[in-house]
Structure 1
Amino acid sequence: MKFKWFQNKLTFVIIPEANGSVVRVKLSRAVLWGAVFALLLLVGTSCFIYVQQMQSAASSYLRTTELHGKAAKLEQDLKHKNEAIEQLKNEIFTLSKQAAEVGSKMEEITRLRQDLLKLSPGSGSADQAVSAASPETPPASKAGGVGGPEIPVTAEQVRALASSTGARYTELAAEMNRLSASFVESKKQLLAQQERQKHIPSLWPTLSKHVTSPYGYRRDPFTSKLSFHKGMDIAGKLNDPVYAAAGGIVHSVGYDKLHGHNVVLEHSSGIRTWYMHLNQAEVDTGERVVKGQRIGKLGTTGRSTGPHLHYEVLRNGKSTDPAPYLPSHSRKDVK
């Protein structure tokens, strides 16, 4: 029965237009079912191929998306690293500028220190003390061997180091600014003190320091009566040089029977010095003199018993004892 079903034939009648002849096509059921099976096989194969292509495309899309994601992540990482490198470059540049500023400040402080040492008394010992207080640290190559495992540092650690170093440089720069300002002020004070010292009568006016009659009460050398001596008599040889005890201006140059040839110098702060019994004056009124400059020759003119210098110091017009102004050591010319 089954074989007969497959052996039956089907007739297809094709009717064209009105004037055309009718076409009859006879197909067996086996051929028809074979055609249907072939069509189904073709459709199934096409679907299978389509599904495979879709799966391949989806897999390719996923791989492409994953690669794009990785590429984007790598690009982002590269961007961050480039930013970190740029930041490190900026920090290194900033550190180099700060190092240059620190070096400049150190040079300035060194110059100021040298100036202060020159201005201060006993500069040699002070310089040795400073040198001894700050010994040179030997470099690592001379101090001994070095070693240990190599531990790489991260960019974050480098940034932290650069940041802390920069902060330290900033602190050092601020400290050096304070030191520099302090040194500048000290230098100004020393210069001012040195300038004042030039106009203070602290220099022996003669080569000799043999005082024959100090300031104060005494018996007059001519009358032997008690009298007040307003100055200091310093013995010396005739025509020994007489020096300005301080810098200033020649107030007067004159001669009289009491004081002989004499010179009065005007200094600062209302101080004057008076040099009497000179054999000869070597300056003129109004002339500016410096400390230690020769102003005359020691003599015995006027009311005098022998070659000596009557040296007098006046403050605001009143005589005062010259001894506290004079050093006990040998005379030094200070110009």
Structure 2
Amino acid sequence: MQLKKPKFKILTFTILSNDANKMITRLRIPKLVILFGSLFALIPIALLGYFIMLNSQQETISQQQLVEKQQLLTKLEDKNSLTENLRIQIEELESERVQVQETLEELNQLESQIQEYIVELPEEALGGVEIPVDESEVIENADGSFSLTDSTVWLESYQKTLANINQVNENIRHIPTAWPTVPNTITSDFGLRSDPFSSNSSFHSGIDVRGATGTPVYAAGDGIVIRANYYGNYGETIIIRHNDTYQTLYAHLSRIDVANGDQVTKGEEIGAIGSTGRSTGPHLHYEVIKNGEPVDPKIYLNLFDH
């Protein structure tokens, strides 16, 4: 039995010439060839459309990134303004502390002088050393003895100065000014930076301090532990509330030595450096939070670094 050859549909094109003496030309082209030719012609058009669409999407993404970066810059400028105001307030507080200490030294000298003047007189004062005293500073008691009118004033002032010094020292103990770990080598600053995972611009809400796994971490100020557990991308984390204004956060820890609700003091060991959570290696991520917003910790760490 003889197999029939497949027949392909053929289109015939007739070409006529204006010259009647010339032969008529006929082109016979299979429809399949025309179909494939049309498809090949459409491929460049489709590729062109795809590249135009891709370029448009990239331009949209670039514009969005530009807007986000501008927003981050604005936010950073606002935070820099807040930290500058904070620096001024802390410097005023430190100046006040120095003035109180100077006043205390002066009052110590005055106290020594007062002790020399306040002498109990004997019943019979017939001789001895005479100490000249301004009559306006001396009063006669009912029993005939004498006392200095200003002695009580100076002693009260002395006691108030001591109370002021104690209050200033107490306030400073609740401000996070201590380094949270040793050594104090900062590997990533507060503010805008390139994200170590995506390489995109991002806002770093604290500082990263270099250290080997197991290096001790210390409380930056007196306060109460309000978190001591695993905390998402932060990994093993401790948060301390120092007062109504300040909190500090210690992240990526390998060990936590405190519990929620513990009272801690400035410089007390609370954990150890690690690389838990979203971390590229052992380090301490440290944040200072003022009124619910992160601020640059270096302002506080360098405040009393003379």
> Normalization by structure 1: what TM-score?
0.49
For 2:230 and 2:275, locate their aligned partners in 1 and report how far apart those are by CA, in whole Å. Answer: 12
Higher helix residue share: 1
For 1:120 and 1:165, locate their aligned partners in 2 and report how far apart those are by CA, in whole Å. Answer: 29
Select 2:186's aligned residue among 184, 205, 211.
211
For 1:178 and 1:275, locate their aligned partners in 2 and report how far apart those are by CA, in whole Å. Answer: 48
Select 1:196's aligned residue among 158, 165, 171.
171
Q: For structure 1, which segment, 258-267 or 180-189, has the greater mean C-alpha deviation from structure 2 after superposition?
A: 180-189
Match of 1:170 in 2: 138
Select 1:323's aligned residue among 290, 294, 298.
298
The amino acid of 2:290's aligned partner reads R
CA contact (8 A) 1:204 1:327 kept: no
Offset at residue 204 of structure 1 (A): 0.4
Larger Rg: 1
Offset at residue 298 of structure 1 (A): 0.8
Match of 2:229 in 1: 254
Offset at residue 291 of structure 1 (A): 1.1
Give unpaired runs (5+ residues) of structure 2. Answer: 1-96, 114-125, 140-146
Query: Relative to structure 1, is the Cα distance of residues 212 and 166 closer, same or farther in structure 2, using a 3 angstrom cutoff?
Result: closer
For 1:323 and 1:282, locate their aligned partners in 2 and report how far apart those are by CA, in whole Å. Answer: 25
- The answer as to 2:193 corresponding to 1:225 is no
The amino acid of 1:314's aligned partner reads I
Offset at residue 302 of structure 1 (A): 1.0
Match of 2:267 in 1: 292
Aligned length: 184
Query: Relative to structure 1, is the Cα distance of residues 266 and 165 closer, same or farther in structure 2, using a 3 angstrom cutoff?
Result: closer
The amino acid of 1:198's aligned partner reads R
- The answer as to 2:237 corresponding to 1:269 is no
Query: Relative to structure 1, is the Cα distance of residues 187 and 329 closer, same or farther in structure 2, using a 3 angstrom cutoff?
Result: closer
For 2:271 and 2:305, locate their aligned partners in 1 and report how far apart those are by CA, in whole Å. Answer: 20
The amino acid of 2:150's aligned partner reads E
The amino acid of 2:287's aligned partner reads E
The amino acid of 1:315's aligned partner reads K
CA contact (8 A) 2:177 2:303 kept: no
The amino acid of 1:234's aligned partner reads V
Match of 1:33 in 2: none
Q: What SS class does the counterpart of residue 254 from structure 2 fall into?
A: strand
> Normalization by structure 2: what TM-score?
0.53
Q: What SS class does the counterpart of residue 258 from structure 1 fall into?
A: helix
CA contact (8 A) 1:255 1:261 kept: yes
Match of 2:158 in 1: 183
Query: Relative to structure 1, is the Cα distance of residues 170 and 176 closer, same or farther in structure 2, using a 3 angstrom cutoff?
Result: same
- The answer as to 2:271 corresponding to 1:279 is no
Offset at residue 305 of structure 1 (A): 1.4
Query: Relative to structure 1, is the Cα distance of residues 313 and 120 closer, same or farther in structure 2, using a 3 angstrom cutoff?
Result: same
Q: What SS class does the counterpart of residue 277 from structure 1 fall into?
A: strand
For 2:202 and 2:182, locate their aligned partners in 1 and report how far apart those are by CA, in whole Å. Answer: 28
The amino acid of 1:219's aligned partner reads S
Name the Cα RMSD after superposition: 3.5
CA contact (8 A) 2:137 2:150 kept: no
For 2:305 and 2:267, locate their aligned partners in 1 and report how far apart those are by CA, in whole Å. Answer: 13
Query: Can you list the C-alpha shifts for 1:117-143, whole angstroms capped at 9, x where unaligned?
Result: 9x949x9xx69x969xx9xxxxxxxxx
For 2:205 and 2:171, locate their aligned partners in 1 and report how far apart those are by CA, in whole Å. Answer: 25
CA contact (8 A) 2:232 2:277 kept: yes
The amino acid of 2:172's aligned partner reads Q
CA contact (8 A) 2:239 2:249 kept: yes
CA contact (8 A) 1:203 1:327 kept: no
